[in-house]
Amino acid sequence: MRVAAILALCLAAAACSKEATVIDGSSPDAFAKTTEKARRDLPIKDRLTFDAALRNGGGRRYADKDPDATARQLYNGMTATDVVEDAHARGIE
């Protein structure tokens, strides 16, 4: 029983020290992989805001030929928390 308690504490400590995933916008494939991983870093209540932010990049215009490339450029280097904070600042809930 004591070993199980120590193991549980070690696992909890490891989970708390996890670094946030940084979004890589260098290619469509890298963006898809890192945004999916970054999304899992968020609490469930923030995931819909994250998804909405990815679909509604800042400064998006009708004339934008490649909105996916705009999103990759906009969110490159950000964490999921950064994306959610940016979305809230732009009025996305």
- In this predicted structure, the answer to whether residue 3 has a pLDDT above a threshold of 80 is no
Tokens of 71: 């999103």
Tokens of 13: 């400590």
pLDDT at residue 15, rounded to an integer: 56
Classified as helix, coil or strand, 92 is: coil
pLDDT at residue 50, rounded to an integer: 96
- In whole angstroms, give the CA distance from residue 91 to residue 28: 26
pTM of this structure: 0.75
pLDDT digits (tens, 9 = 90+) for 41-69: 999 999 999 999 998 876 656 666 788 88
Helices 28-39 and 80-89: angle between axes, nearest 10 degrees: 90
What confidence category does residue 5 fall into, taking pLDDT thresholds of 50, 70 and 90?
A: low
Domain boundaries, the chain: 22-89
- Identify the residue whose tokens are 């029983």: 1
- In whole angstroms, give the CA distance from residue 43 to residue 61: 30
pLDDT digits (tens, 9 = 90+) for 6-25: 656 655 555 555 799 999 99
